[in-house]
Structure 1
Amino acid sequence: MKYKISLFLLLIFVLNSCQNEDEKRRAENEKEVKKNEIIFNNINKAWTFIDEPINEAAEQKVSSWNEWRDFLKELGDKPRKTIGAFQKKSAAISKKALALNNNIPVEFNVPQIKSRISILITKVKMMDLFINLSTIPDKKVTFLIGEINKELVSLERQMDQVVVKSKIPKEEGEEDFLKMLDTTRAIPNSNTVPVQVQNINKKLPTVE
């Protein structure tokens, strides 16, 4: 009889323990769901990129620079519903950003533009890294979205400056002067008349 009572009590204890574990697990799952929901809402709210050119110079390149056009198009296509969709979109944006190093128009293939493209790519890659972590630091992701927009503005303004500068007429003779400063273009002049060295051993006049 005592054995049956002990067994009964043990069974109740086991069932109670299992129920507590299930409740604990359920509470943790609910907490994780709420946390992920907050992360999703924060990223979804902040996910707004400058996907249209801000000046004429950048707008003209949309038609001729395929990589630039594709990058802006990727930025403008906002994902929906799940954090997984944002992760896939982030990877796609990163891929398009890397392609900006290809086929840069001649007038923009200068250090000022290339350095800003490099900074932009770095910010995009950082965003892609953070959004794909197991625990997403949503504040860092949203901060980088703002940083990417700043770099886009900076890049397009630099494009505009390059175009404006190229339209300024050079003064007469400036082009030749710039070529002279370029030592890599220097060519020895074969027509130069050699300077004769006078004989310094000639007898000098004496002073009496």
Structure 2
Amino acid sequence: MKLIIRFVLFSFLIFFSCQDENEARRIQQQKEIAKKEDVAKRIHSAWNFRTVSLSPLATNFTNDWAEWRLFQTELYQKPTNSLTAFQKKSKMLTKKADEVLQTIPGILFRPEFKTRFTVLLNKFRSIEMYLNLTEIPEKKVIGLISEINLELLSIESQMNELARKNQIPMEQGEADMIRMLDTSRAVKEIPKNLD
């Protein structure tokens, strides 16, 4: 009889302890969900990218550049207030920035422009990485958004500068001089046979 009573008490004890664990787990999950929602709200309030306003000359370079227009459209669309929306948006921005980098038109295909855009792409990749961590470092994400705005300003000024430089006419003989400086065109010396 004592054995049956002990068994019943032990069963009740296990049953109630399991319910306490489930309740504690549920409370912990609710806290994590609330924390992620708070992080998403703070990121949402900081998720503002500056617009790139180009000079009319630079705009002429980007008129036929479809990837640039798609990148700008994607950049200025703000995701909803959920963390998964920010994860999808960061992935899409990384993809669009990579497409822009791969399709830079000839006039803008200069090391100074390509380098600036590579830095911008790396910042988008960093945001994508941070947003996919289990513990999101929101201060780093918000800091990267500010840095991206600075990079966009740098890209804008570089595009305007390249457009301005393109308008400067070449001086007489400058094209010949540039060709002479090209080391790939150097004449190779052919040794003479000393027979």
1:131 alignment counterpart: 131
Identify the residue that residue 38 of structure 2 maps to in structure 1. 38
CA deviations on 1:85-104 (whole Å, 9 max, x unpaired) are: 11111111111111012332
Q: Are positions 1:54 and 2:59 aligned together?
A: no
Tell me the equivalent position of 1:164. Answer: 164
Give the secondary structure class of the aligned counterpart of 2:28: helix
Equivalents in 1 of 2:58, 2:42: separation in Å? 30
Gaps of 5+ in 1: 189-208
Contact 1:53 1:59 in 2 (8 A): no
User: Structure 2 length normalisation: TM-score?
Assistant: 0.82
Number of residues of Structure 1 aligned to a counterpart in Structure 2? 187
Deviation at 1:172, TM superposition (A): 3.8
Residues 183 and 8 (structure 1), Cα distance of their counterparts in 2 relative to 1, 3 Å cut: closer
Could you report, residue by residue, the CA deviation over 1:9-54 in whole angstroms, capped at 9, with x for unpaired residues?
A: 434423432342233223212221221112111211111112x322
1:74 is displaced (CA, Å) by: 0.7
The amino acid across from 2:20 in the alignment is N
The 8 Å contact of residues 52 and 152 in structure 2, kept in 1 or not, is answered as no
Letter in 2 for 1:146: S
* In 1: Cα distance, 2:182 partner to 2:7 partner: 97
CA distance in structure 2 between the partners assigned to 1:62 and 1:81 by the alignment: 32
Question: Would you say the 8 A contact 2:80–2:86 is kept in 1?
Answer: yes
- Residue in 2 aligned with 1:21? 21
Tell me what 1:91 maps to. 91
Q: Distance in 1 between matches of 2:154 and 2:18?
A: 59
Which string of whole-angstrom CA distances, capped at 9 and with x for unpartnered residues, describes residues 48-99 of structure 1? 112x322215543442211111111111111114211111111111111110
- TM-score, normalised by the number of residues in structure 1: 0.77
Would the aligned equivalents of 1:61 and 1:68 in 2 still touch at CA under 8 Å?
no
CA distance in 1, matches of 2:19, 2:4: 22
* 67 and 14 in structure 1: CA distance in 2 versus 1, 3 angstrom threshold: same
Which protein, 1 or 2, shows the higher relative CO under an 8 Å CA cutoff with sep ≥ 6? 2
Unaligned 5+ residue runs, structure 2?
189-195
Separation in 1 of the partners of 2:61 and 2:46?
Answer: 27
Whether 1:140 and 2:140 are equivalent positions in the alignment is: yes
SS of alignment partner, residue 106 of structure 1: coil
What letter corresponds to residue 169 of structure 2 in structure 1?
A: P
Give the match for residue 192 of structure 1: none
Give every structure 1 segment of 4 or more consecutive aligned residues whose post-TM-superposition deviation is greater than 6 Å: none
Contact 1:67 1:102 in 2 (8 A): no
Shift of 1:2: 4.2
Q: 1:184 to 1:12 in 2, by over 3 A?
A: closer
Distance 1:121 1:29, change over 3 A: same
Label 1:54 to 1:17 Cα distance change in 2 as closer, same or farther (>3 A). same
**C-alpha distance in structure 1 between counterparts of 2:3 and 2:135, whole Å:** 50
Shift in Å at residue 167 of structure 1? 1.7
